[in-house]
């Protein structure tokens, strides 16, 4: 049985037929549904807000992994919980008091995670690894789907894996950006546990088969 997890990213779905896209994910071997929340401030793009998340929550049979690419996320932690987030990711770059933010997410009943941009050193997370359910390494610059994998990410993944092993935590490593059927096997061997996959799934002729291929990659 594969131990890695597949989180389809709704960012590259067909929003004109969003319910049908979510139903496809419901039928698939995917583990969670990934939602990218962008505010046009921290990243140069806008996505969707609480009303859309609440509707997605109603339609999705999978738990929701909500990735906040927004400035000052502390203002909205409870609101995202109430909208339906099960896992909540904040960016290292947006949190002045990161440990407090992580504690608040956990106290609200969600699984806390922290994301780092391509230029941010993962060693900065060492003091809080034990408090995190997951670390998300951005393998593209955040803001848009369909980008190519940044090759410098390999060293970050291996470095973070060593940090987790040395710390003796069960923190998961998630990657977002440029994941394909061709590179997922090598990413698994490098230490990645969780894969956010958008374009590879939603642009496929047979997204259910592609999701299965990703889930069962060696």
Q: How many domains does the chain have?
A: 1
Q: Express each pLDDT in 20-78 by its tens digit.
A: 999 999 999 999 999 999 999 998 889 999 999 999 999 999 999 999 999 999 999 99
Domain range for 10: 5-215
Catalytic entry in 39, 65, 176, 193: 176
**CATH number of the structural domain spanning residue 162:** 3.20.20.70
Give the three-state DSSP class for 184.
Answer: helix
69 neighbors 91 (Cβ within 8 angstroms): yes
The pLDDT tens digits for 6-36 are 999 999 999 999 999 999 999 999 999 999 9
- What is the share, in percent, of the chain residues with pLDDT greater than 90? 87
CA distance 11 to 117: 18
Tell which residue, 138, 211, 141, has the closest CA to residue 180.
Answer: 211
Q: What are phi and psi of 60, to 5 degrees?
A: -85, 130
Residue from 36, 39, 65, 193 carrying the catalytic annotation? 36
Mean pLDDT of 143-147: 62
Note if 36 is an active site residue.
Answer: yes
């Amino acid at each position: 049985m594969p131990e890695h997890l597949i989180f389809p990213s709704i960012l590259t779905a067909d929003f004109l037929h969003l319910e049908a896209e979510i139903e496809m994910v419901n039928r698939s071997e995917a583990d969670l549904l990934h939602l990218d929340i962008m505010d046009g401030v921290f990243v140069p793009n806008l996505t969707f807000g609480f009303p859309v998340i609440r509707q997605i929550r109603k339609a999705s049979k999978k738990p929701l992994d909500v990735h906040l690419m927004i400035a000052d996320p502390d203002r909205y932690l409870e609101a995202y919980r109430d909208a339906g987030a099960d896992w909540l990711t904040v960016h290292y770059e947006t949190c002045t008091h990161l440990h407090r933010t992580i504690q608040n997410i956990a106290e609200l009943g969600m699984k806390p995670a922290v994301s780092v941009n391509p230029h941010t050193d993962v060693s900065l997370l060492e003091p809080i690894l034990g408090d995190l359910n997951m670390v998300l390494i951005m393998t593209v610059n955040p803001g848009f789907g369909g980008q190519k994998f940044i090759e410098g990410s390999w060293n970050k993944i291996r470095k973070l894996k060593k940090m987790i092993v040395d710390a003796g935590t069960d923190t998961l490593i998630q990657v977002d950006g440029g994941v394909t059927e061709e590179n997922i096997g090598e990413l698994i061997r490098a230490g990645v546990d969780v894969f956010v996959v958008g374009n590879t799934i939603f642009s496929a002729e047979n997204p259910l088969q592609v999701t299965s291929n990703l889930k069962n990659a060696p």
